[in-house]
Amino acid sequence: MGEWAPSWTPKEHAAAVDAVREAIGRGDVYQVNVVGHASAPYRGDPGPALRRVAALPGARYGGVLTGEGWAIATASPETLVEVRDGRVITRPIKGTRPATARGRAELLASAKERAEHVMIVDLERNDLTRIPGAGPVTVDELFAVRQWVDLWQAESVISAPLLPPELDLAALLRAVCPGGSVTGAPKLAALTEIAALEPMGRGVSMGAIGWIGPDHLDLALTIRTVAADGTRLHAWAGGGITWDSDPAAEVEEAAAKAAPIRAALAGHGAGGATA
């Protein structure tokens, strides 16, 4: 594997954060998730490296998909949507700190992270109400702290009962895609900002991957995901931007999320993230 080539510099990333803050100041948006991309050349079979990514600790969805000339590995901890036992469930993640005692305390005490998280919870509650046949939406767990590799992350669980008739898959996907935690609020306005600011398309990242059965659907949000196209590896990382966001801290947070993926690909273990 060769060196990583980012699609933007830290200075350009920070400028995008400032641009989102300006949009918030104008009242265009409340929050926007800004994502950067990097790629690295490789030779040979990427399978062993991709399997190391899929095995990262804390991955609720760890796996590899392959096809002719392409492969995808995910270590995603986040549920975009699950349907089980007559309920539809989403588990948005928003808020990150190093997995230390101090990092946990900082995450739990951060008014900025909690406000950002609650905005996405409200957005996801609204998304579930748009599903035909969905009953009252409930927040079953709010701002729970869970570990992914060497990072703490805040996660909530939101669900609703599904009433007859049977759920239409297309209607379900229209209601929840793209995920609120990787777009922002309001969602359509956030997507406009994302299209204007991000230097590279998101590819397979920030989408969905999983499985569908006759009585159970479970789709991950493809964060912490790598794609191989035959000659290069592609990875994405970013974070949600609010009025209180510090550009330098947002650049560092994206690097922290990308570090375990890069380390696993290089065979250096699952650590290496800092924030």
SS3 label, residue 270: coil
Strands 151-161 and 5-6: unpaired
SS3 label, residue 132: coil
> Considering the chain, what percentage of its residues have pLDDT values greater than 70?
97
In a domain, 133, yes or no: yes
How far is residue 222's CA from residue 229's CA, in Å, rounded to a whole number? Answer: 17
Match 């509650």 to its residue by tokens.
125
Neighbours of 177 (CB within 10 A): 16
Check whether 117 has a pLDDT greater than 90.
yes
How far is residue 53's CA from residue 226's CA, in Å, rounded to a whole number? Answer: 8
In a domain, 233, yes or no: yes
Strands 216-221 and 79-84: antiparallel
Q: pLDDT at position 167, please?
A: 80
Average pLDDT value for the chain: 94
In a domain, 272, yes or no: no
In a domain, 275, yes or no: no
Say whether 257 is catalytic: no
- The region that residue 36 occupies, defined by phi over 0 for left and psi between -120 and 50 for alpha, beta otherwise, is beta
The answer to whether 108 and 130 have CB atoms below 8 angstroms apart is no
Domain count for the chain: 1
Q: pLDDT at position 269, please?
A: 62
The answer to whether 167 and 131 have CB atoms below 8 angstroms apart is yes
In a domain, 159, yes or no: yes
In a domain, 43, yes or no: yes
Per-residue buried b or exposed e for 119-142, using 16+ beta carbons within 10 Å of the residue's own CB: bbbebbbebbeebebbbebeeeee
How far is residue 168's CA from residue 170's CA, in Å, rounded to a whole number? Answer: 6
Structural domain harbouring 225 = 5-266
The answer to whether 53 and 197 have CB atoms below 8 angstroms apart is no
In a domain, 111, yes or no: yes
Q: pLDDT at position 268, please?
A: 81
The answer to whether 89 and 79 have CB atoms below 8 angstroms apart is yes
Task: Write out the two tokens for 139.
Answer: 């927040």
Give me the catalytic one of 82, 94, 116, 124: 94
Q: pLDDT at position 271, please?
A: 45
Check whether 274 has a pLDDT greater than 70.
no
Encoded amino acid at 68, one letter = E
Task: Write out the two tokens for 227.
Answer: 């794609």
- The region that residue 251 occupies, defined by phi over 0 for left and psi between -120 and 50 for alpha, beta otherwise, is alpha
Q: pLDDT at position 166, please?
A: 74
In a domain, 271, yes or no: no
What are the DSSP calls for 72-104, one per residue? EEEEE--EEEEEETTEEEEE-EEEEEESSHHHH
Say whether 94 is catalytic: yes
pLDDT band at 259 (very low <50, low <70, confident <90, very high): very high
Give me the catalytic one of 12, 22, 68, 78: 78
Q: pLDDT at position 163, please?
A: 85
Arithmetic mean of pLDDT, 260-274: 74
How far is residue 201's CA from residue 35's CA, in Å, rounded to a whole number? Answer: 9
pTM score of the predicted model: 0.92
Q: pLDDT at position 168, please?
A: 87
How far is residue 90's CA from residue 92's CA, in Å, rounded to a whole number? Answer: 6
Q: What is the CATH number of the domain that holds 245?
A: 3.60.120.10
Arithmetic mean of pLDDT, 37-59: 97
